[in-house]
Chain A
Amino acid sequence: MLTVRDLHKSYAGPQGPVAVLNGVDMELREGETLALTGESGSGKSTLLHLVAGLDRADRGQIIVAGTPLLSLSDAGRAAVRRRDVGLVFQQFNLIPSLTVADNLAFQARIGGRHDPAWQEELIARLGLDGLLGRYPEQLSGGQQQRVAIGRALAMRPSLLLADEPTGNLDEATGDAVMDLALDLVARTGCAFLMVTHSTRLADRLHRHLHLSGGRLR
């Protein structure tokens, strides 16, 4: 579902380019879950953003659901995200002007993959029944993150990417959200790549890779 080959990425620094990723290779199959850990600044989020097509790599190869990303334009990469990639961020990133119901359906709708029955199931599984008419600012952090997970899964992505999804939540709420996420990932059969600081959470996934010095170990 996801193939990453010899991926390089550097950023401009005051003393010249700073290499963040230095030849990353990675493979993730359908239904497989993978945790990516590493120190702050090790390039975990950068790798996630490259895989999502939010940023461009210097060189290498990224193939998502059979589509090589690096040769695609902005519009092409956006199309891949609409079709195949679900994203969950630490900051939830819900759209403040939309209700919970509309936030949940947003990506599925723009991807032309809105399935009311599946959305109903997600709402039930995520426990969002009573919150559908509310706006994000009227929700707690745990509730917002559940909506964000629901939004990412509503379009039945091939690949779910999560960047510190429980980083803003307390441990109990984080665990609950994680349980739901893993349950739904298993239900949809998508591949799941999660960036986290927590080895405890990482241990709950099928595989665990550590990023250090721009390479995976």
Chain B
Amino acid sequence: MRPVGWTLMTLLSHWRRHPIQAVTLVVGLALATALWSGVQALNQEARRSYADATGLLAGPQTPTLMRPDGQPFSQDLYVALRRAGWQVSPILDGPLDIRGRRVRLIGVDPVTLAGMSSGPAAGAESAYARPFLTPPWRTLAAPETLEELGLEIGGTPALDNGRTLPPVATLADLPPGTLMVDIGVAQRLLGAEGLVSRLLVGPRAPLGRPSLQEVVGDRLKMTQPEPETDVARLTDSFHLNLTAFGLLSFAVGLFIVHSAIGLAFEQRRPAMRTMRAAGVSLRTLTAALLLELLSLALAAGLIGMVLGYAVAAALLPDVAATLRGLYGATVSGELTLSGRWWLSGMAMTLAGAGIAAAGSLMKLRRLPVLDPARPQAWLAAWTRHQPRRLVLALALFAAAALLLIFGRGLLSGFAVIGGVLLGGALALPVILSHVLEAGERMATSPLAKWMWADSRQQLSGLSLALMALLLALAANIGVGSMVGGFRLTFTDWLDERLAADVYVRADTPGQAMAIEAFLARRPEVTAVLPGQSAQSRLAGLPVGVEGFTADPMYRTTWHLFSGGAEAWDEVRTGHAALVNEQLANRLHLRPGDTILLPTPAGDWRLTVAGTYADYGNPLGELRVDLGAFRARWPGVARTDYALRLPPEDTPALITALRREFGLAEGQVMDQSSIKTLSRRIFERTFTVTAALNTLTLGVAGVALLMSLLTLATLRLPQVAPLWAMGVMRRRLALMDLAKTLALAALTAVLAIPLGVMIAWCLVAVVNVQAFGWRLPLHLFPLQWLQLFVLAIITALLASILPATALWRRPPAELVKVFSDER
């Protein structure tokens, strides 16, 4: 074996002799990798689902022809283009409710799609061509969609609107939550006879083909594929949030790794000196250390990736529910892990191990062969570098403040939080040291004085673990305050927004007319407020347009952020709109500003009358007068109604509507049911964040446990003299326990102001950038108390094992401290 091999074996023998340190290192790195790679698996799965949905019909790079306002158009335009030599294929898609679940129905024409499709839809014209095109036709869906909807192959399930689907078959590559049928079938099922949503444009362009303008004029416009879909762009902030929390957990894990590597380096410093004296060159020693780090990181990385898969699998249902509830994005319920995920996860592990070990490796470069053995040097260095760390902490706080003032964008928001967290963590040992020093000065009994002094001495060894605990607690307080504040605001907002007593959605315009007539005959209904909606685009992003009647009810219940009572009157003129907060923030709109909204009847010049809160909606939205809306979108069916009636009459009316029109449960709902549903969606939205926070706290607990176990042996020289002087081991153990609890308690107290700062950053900076809405800052002292108790319990669990070990330590081991031959 070469010198590097023997040197590596010798280095590795350290871990055999110090298994707790080895476990600390591996556990720390594995946990860090697990949380990071788990989050990445979730993000990757979601993005894969978005990409599948985009590339469904003809691959992601196919241009499309659409109406400028995005509305369906007559298939006559399609026929005209085909006759003119354009290679186009028609698509019709829209929402469909089946067994209470909303899915996306896509109608395609397999014949014209042939030759221009590289997406999963290609399967429609190959494996299923004949049954797909001829009666009784066929419905294609991914197996998981069938499972989710409880459909059986060959079955012809009934839709919520009473119609039935053609026999169901599977096509594995279709994205989840999507059904595919022949376009003729889709037109019938969606009630859009003779209409298509868009045309896919194939690559063939025969010579002499007339231009688009010549065939369809301005009625259709070509849309080139964009690198990102709307859903991908809208959900970016959500994924960035997840990534940020994954990164926080990763950083907390690295604290453990850094601590373990630093300690191991210092403990092996004499051995390294001996190796150097025996002829191991610096280059060989460095190479062996790198190899050692690599092998440990690979082992920990593999464990971490497996754990990460488990984390992702556990969190995926909640992430999918959040994305569906918040963004309407459908994400597959099954994890598909790519080679890239494995590689990037392992690369992150290696990079993390490298970062955690960088300091030790740098020290090795400067390690003099004749350096005297200093097993406590690492601890001493911590104390020596305290002023430097305080300066760095202040610099980080200052950088965060500057970013707060001058920074823009979500990344800048997270950088502020990162600066505050890291600054707080670096300042922690300095603050704790001063508090303990003050305690020492105030103590009167010699044992109490020793306890304070010893806590301060122990601080250097526990600093990294306490910093990790501080980060985890502060993040918990910050996120907890944000979620709690959001919950309060959201509840108030729901009360404000859902002022009507019953909400009805008809299947077809015909049914809507019948419902209106029915309601007119019901004396208990005091107001019928119809609503209509359409989609348009502003500044390249989709926006929702809601036509509504500015009923006096809204004036009293609906609180506008900006724009006074006259805003409602301005909307009624048909020349003004209320815009939601996220749209106002994105386009920097204020009352009095004007916008040009593309509509089927041409651009609509609207003045911003006011802004309103619209929590949970990722899209920009405008609310306009219903009459003016109908004039611009004459083709949009009127199917939605808000009803006012005495609460005691509500159940009877709902029963009557369902009986009379066969409306499904989701089509007619009272106010309280909608509120309950909304709150349920809301709670799931933050389940993932809460889970990541709890896991991070768990990682911090592990860091504390590992540090205490490692320090237990190192601290014998401090403890043994007291034992020799007559202090019982039991008392020493209890004092050790008390010291750790005191340090954890102090850390938890310091985490509160830091957590409040994080909460403020989240509600005032990150949320505004990520979602477009700003929330008031709410503080929850009871939650702080809970976290304080949790920190104490974590510290108690972490310190009970080392304290018990000290209690039961045989006197022979304590005596060894006084022996020269040790």
In the complex, how many angstroms separate the beta carbon of B296 from the nearest chain A beta carbon? 15
Scoring A residues 71 to 96 as 1 if CB is less than 8 Å from chain B, else 0, what string do you get?
Answer: 00011001111110101010101111
User: How many A residues touch the partner, as a band?
Assistant: 35 or more
Question: Contacting A95 at CB < 8 Å: which of B3, B275, B279, B284?
Answer: B275
A residues 96-154 in Cβ contact with B at 8 Å: 96-98, 102, 106-107, 109-112, 135, 137, 139-141, 144, 151
- Tell me whether B821 and A75 are in contact (CB under 8 A): no
- Tell me whether B3 and A110 are in contact (CB under 8 A): yes
B405 CB-CB contact with A under 8 Å: no
A67 CB-CB contact with B under 8 Å: no
- Tell me whether B16 and A97 are in contact (CB under 8 A): yes
By a CB distance below 8 angstroms, the chain B residues around A98 are 10, 13
Q: Take A55-B369, A110-B6, A137-B822 as given contacts and tell me if A94 and B282 are in contact as well, using a CB distance cutoff of 8 Å.
A: no
In the complex, how many angstroms separate the beta carbon of B103 from the nearest chain A beta carbon? 62
Q: Take A96-B17, A97-B16, A135-B17 as given contacts and tell me if A78 and B281 are in contact as well, using a CB distance cutoff of 8 Å.
A: yes
Q: Take A54-B369, A87-B277 as given contacts and tell me if A97 and B284 are in contact as well, using a CB distance cutoff of 8 Å.
A: no
Q: Take A91-B373, A93-B270, A140-B821 as given contacts and tell me if A109 and B6 are in contact as well, using a CB distance cutoff of 8 Å.
A: yes
By a CB distance below 8 angstroms, the chain B residues around A111 are 3, 279
Cα-based distance from A89 to B369 in the complex (angstroms)? 13
- Tell me whether A81 and B270 are in contact (CB under 8 A): no
Q: Take A81-B277, A96-B271 as given contacts and tell me if A106 and B282 are in contact as well, using a CB distance cutoff of 8 Å.
A: no
In the complex, how many angstroms separate the beta carbon of B524 from the nearest chain A beta carbon? 85
- Tell me whether A78 and B284 are in contact (CB under 8 A): yes
By a CB distance below 8 angstroms, the chain B residues around A139 are 821
By a CB distance below 8 angstroms, the chain B residues around A82 are 3, 278-280
- Tell me whether A168 and B275 are in contact (CB under 8 A): no
Q: Take A93-B273, A94-B274 as given contacts and tell me if A54 and B370 are in contact as well, using a CB distance cutoff of 8 Å.
A: yes
- Tell me whether B274 and A95 are in contact (CB under 8 A): yes
In the complex, how many angstroms separate the beta carbon of B587 from the nearest chain A beta carbon? 64
A197 CB-CB contact with B under 8 Å: no
Of chain A, the residue at the smallest CB distance from B816 is: A137
Question: Contacting B278 at CB < 8 Å: which of A97, A110, A168?
Answer: A110
- Tell me whether B14 and A97 are in contact (CB under 8 A): yes
Of chain B, the residue at the smallest CB distance from A148 is: B274
B residues 1-57 in Cβ contact with A at 8 Å: 1, 3, 6-7, 10, 13-14, 16-18
In the complex, how many angstroms separate the beta carbon of B639 from the nearest chain A beta carbon? 76
A52 CB-CB contact with B under 8 Å: yes
Count of chain B residues with a beta carbon within 8 Å of a chain A beta carbon: 31
A49 CB-CB contact with B under 8 Å: yes
By a CB distance below 8 angstroms, the chain A residues around B271 are 95-97
Question: Contacting B13 at CB < 8 Å: which of A85, A97, A168?
Answer: A97
B340 CB-CB contact with A under 8 Å: no
Cα-based distance from A83 to B278 in the complex (angstroms)? 9
- Tell me whether A74 and B281 are in contact (CB under 8 A): yes
In the complex, how many angstroms separate the beta carbon of B641 from the nearest chain A beta carbon? 78
By a CB distance below 8 angstroms, the chain A residues around B648 are none
- Tell me whether A106 and B278 are in contact (CB under 8 A): yes
Q: Take A91-B373, A137-B822 as given contacts and tell me if A79 and B14 are in contact as well, using a CB distance cutoff of 8 Å.
A: no
Cα-based distance from A172 to B327 in the complex (angstroms)? 84
B276 CB-CB contact with A under 8 Å: yes
Cα-based distance from A98 to B10 in the complex (angstroms)? 7
Additional A-B contact list (7), CB under 8 Å, known A97-B17, A97-B271, A168-B820: A54-B276, A78-B282, A87-B277, A91-B373, A98-B13, A140-B821, A151-B278
Q: Which 6 A-B residue pairs are closest in the complex by CB-CB distance?
A: A82-B279, A81-B279, A78-B281, A97-B13, A75-B281, A107-B278
25 contacts between A and B (CB under 8 A): A49-B370, A74-B281, A75-B281, A75-B284, A79-B279, A82-B279, A89-B277, A91-B373, A93-B270, A93-B273, A93-B277, A95-B274, A96-B17, A97-B17, A97-B268, A106-B275, A107-B278, A109-B1, A109-B6, A110-B3, A110-B6, A111-B279, A137-B822, A140-B821, A141-B821
B residues at A contact (CB < 8 Å): 1, 3, 6-7, 10, 13-14, 16-18, 268, 270-271, 273-284, 369-370, 373, 820-822
A residues at B contact (CB < 8 Å): 49, 52, 54-55, 74-75, 78-83, 85, 87, 89, 91, 93-98, 102, 106-107, 109-112, 135, 137, 139-141, 144, 151, 168
